[in-house]
Amino acid sequence: MSGIPETVTVPCFVGGGEIKTTRKIVPSPGSGQLLVQVKANALCGSERPQFRDGWNATPGHEAAGVVVAAGQNTHTPVGTSGVVFLMDFCGQCRSCVRGFTNQCLAKRADMGFTHDGGYGVYELIHENIFFPAPGFSATEATLLLDIMGTGGHSIRRAQSAHGDIGSVIVAGAGPIGLGVLAMAKIMLGPEIPVYIYDMVDYRLSLAEELGGKPISVANGKTVEEGLRRYGVSEVDIAIDTSGKKAAREASLHSLAQRGALILVGHGEELLLKVSPDMIATERSVVGSEYFAYSELNANSKYLREHSTYLNKIITHRFGVDEIQHAFELFFGGETGKVIIEQ
């Protein structure tokens, strides 16, 4: 591979909240594979265990970059810029054939978890999970993944459960919560009120800048009290990005009849009183996992139309040599989306 080194220095998550470096061989793409030179990768809360406990594979699952080598039986030209879909779906199972690539029954990899991901210099992927994204910078293109992808999928899941959404509440104003807020405004309309609650003032200020109606639940304040301050007692859709039991239950109890609770954040349990919580009110509880590859087409159009708005979610950018500081700052809670640029 002309111009591509044999080995490169990459971050190594050794555990205990420490990131060192190691050398890795740059792989050559085989049949159906692409080698992507990563230009940007966004930090994600799901990387907390990797940062805390250490990880064998190079993390990073929100990567954007440029194809620098292509194996046989591929059609993507070298030099194409784009993003990498997290889940290496098979494309042939029942789920994939119907477009549910986030529910693949024979998934080959989760990039950045089971296989080396985007904090390395190069990432080897199957071509089917590369999405060309010309016209965007690499940093901007990362918005297509967890921010717009996961956020937009939760709105689509909500629409499948409730056909006349008039209001939304979001639990958690971290990057995913901010993505849900932004995609709700884009997909449902700017006039739809989106309430969002958190304990961190920084995040709530950013949510308000994005058009959300912030509710602080710090110091014993409740979601119910926060809604009441806006003259509201219930909402149509509640979307939990926190993964916390208390937040899920508060969200559920904020729902009107026919309301739907959309669960995005992995984590703790949800306890239901079936008759009053579900049957009598005909509420729904719906899971929402990542997003389907096909959603990238619509989301790329949204990004072109709402670029300035969506880029507000990105608050910090660091070089890969600053990755330790980036993770410490990110998990401190007072950031939006944090990007490692190479």
Residues of the chain with CATH 3.40.50.720: 147-287
pLDDT for residue 2 is more than 90: no
Regarding pTM above 0.95, the answer is: yes
What is the domain class of 7-144+306-341 according to CATH?
alpha beta
Instruction: Write down the pLDDT at residue 23.
Output: 98
For residues 322 and 330, give the distance between their C-alpha atoms in angstroms, rounded to a whole number: 12
Amino acid 3: pLDDT: 86
Q: Which fold has domain 147-287?
A: Rossmann fold (3.40.50)
Q: What is the predicted pLDDT for the residue at 19?
A: 98
1 — pLDDT class (breaks 50, 70, 90): confident
Residue ranges, CATH 3.90.180.10, the chain = 7-144+306-341
